[in-house]
A and B are shown apart, each in its own frame.
Chain A
Amino acid sequence: MNELFKGFAKAHAEQNGYLLAATLSPVSPADNPQRLRSIWKSSNAHSVKGDIKHWIKSNSSRNLDHEEIKGWVEVYAAYWNAVGDIVAGEDGKSTWTKVYESWKELTSVLIRGYNNFGFEAWTIPCLYMVGKYLRLFAIKSDTERSRNLGDNSGGASLMQDDFDPETEKQGQLRDCEQHLKRIFTLCLNDRAPLEESRKWGIYFIINLLFKTYFKLNSASLSRTILKTLSAYRGDMPPLSAFPKSQRVTFKFYEGVLFFLEENYVEAEKHLVEAWELCHKDAKPNLERILTYLIPCRLLTSHVLPTKALLEPFPRLQKLFLPLAQCIKKGDLHAFDLALQEGEDEFVKRRIYLTLERGRDIALRNLLRKVFIAGGFDEPKEGETTPVRRTRVPVAEFRAAICMGSGGELMDTDEVECLIANMIYKDLMKGYIARERGIVVLSKKGAFPGTGV
Chain B
Amino acid sequence: MSSWSSAQHPPGVAPQAPYAYQHSESLSIPSAGARSNLISSAAPAFIPVQVRQSFGSYVAPPPPPYNPYASSSPQSQPATPTTSTSPAAPVEQPKGTKTEWPESVRRYVQRSFHPENDDPSVSRAELEAKLKDTIGSAKENNSLYTIDWDNMPLPQALVRADREAQLKLHHRAAPITTPIYTDDSFNPRKRKSNDFSHDSSAPPPWHSTNAGRSLEDRISYSPEKRAALDDPKSSKFQKEANKRKRRFENEYKAANVASLSLNPPPPSGPIVGTSEVLEKKYLRLTAPPVPSNVRPERVLRQTLELLKKKWRKEGNYSYICDQFKSMRQDLTVQRIKNEFTVSVYEIHARIALEKGDIGEYNQCQTQLRSLYAMGLKGNPIEFKAYRILYFIHTANRTGLNDTLADLTAAEKEERPIKHALSVRSALALGNYHKFFQLYLDTPNMGAYLMDMFVARERLAALCNICKGYKPDVKLRFITEELGFESDADAAQFIIDYQGQHLLEDRTEYIAFLTGKANGLFENSRAAAFQKVDIKGQI
Contacts and interface: CB of A to CB of B under 8 A. Distances in A.
Interface of A: 45, 67, 81, 84-85, 88, 93-94, 97-98, 101, 108, 111-112, 114-121, 148-167, 171, 174-175, 177-178, 182, 185-186, 189-192, 196-198, 217-221, 223-224, 227-228, 231, 260, 262, 343-344, 347-348, 350, 352-353, 356-357, 359-360, 413-414, 416-421, 423-425, 431-434, 440
Interface stretch (B233-241, B309-317, B486-494): B233-241
Interface residues of B, number: 95
Interface of B: 1-2, 5, 9, 11-15, 183, 185, 188-189, 196-197, 200, 204, 206-215, 224-225, 227-229, 231-237, 239, 242, 246, 266-271, 284-289, 325, 328-329, 332-333, 335, 337, 363, 366-367, 370, 373, 397-398, 400-402, 404-405, 425, 428-434, 463-465, 467-471, 473, 477, 480-481, 515, 538
A160 B189 contact: yes
Contacts of A154: 211-213, 215, 266, 268
Given A186-B232, A353-B428, A155 B268 contact: yes
A452 to B, nearest CB: 20
A9 B268 CA distance: 46
Given A84-B1, A158-B267, A260-B397, 10 more contacts: A67-B239, A152-B12, A155-B211, A166-B370, A190-B235, A217-B398, A414-B431, A414-B433, A416-B433, A418-B430
B470 A155 contact: no
- 3 smallest CB-CB distances across A and B, nearest first, come from A154-B212, A150-B12, A420-B468
Contacts of B12: 148-152
A359 B463 CA distance: 21
B348 to A, nearest CB: 11
A88 B470 contact: no
Contact of B405 (A45, A152, A347, A357): A347
Contacts of A157: 209, 212, 332
A262 B235 CA distance: 41
A422 to B, nearest CB: 8
A81 B183 contact: no
A270 to B, nearest CB: 18
B210 A175 contact: yes
Contacts of A118: 235-236, 239
Nearest to B366: A162
Nearest to A114: B235
Nearest to B210: A175
Nearest to B402: A217
Nearest to B405: A347
A155 B269 contact: yes
Contacts of A177: 204
A218 B405 CA distance: 16
A171 B210 contact: yes
Contacts of B402: 217
Given A189-B232, A220-B398, A414-B434, A158 B225 contact: no
Interface of B is mostly: helix
Contact of B197 (A114, A223, A344): A223
Given A150-B11, A186-B232, A163 B465 contact: no
A162 B196 contact: no
B197 A158 contact: no
B434 A163 contact: no
A180 B246 CA distance: 24
A220 B197 contact: yes
B268 A192 contact: no
Contacts of A161: 188-189, 284-285, 325, 328-329, 332, 363
B235 A88 contact: no
Contact of A159 (B188, B328, B370): B188
Contacts of A191: 233-234, 237
A353 B400 contact: yes
A423 B473 CA distance: 16
Contacts of A186: 232
Contacts of B224: 116
A219 B398 contact: yes
Contact of B401 (A159, A231, A350): A350
Given A152-B12, A162-B367, A420 B239 contact: no
Contacts of B473: 434
B322 to A, nearest CB: 12
Nearest to B480: A413
Contacts of A440: 470
A434 B215 contact: no
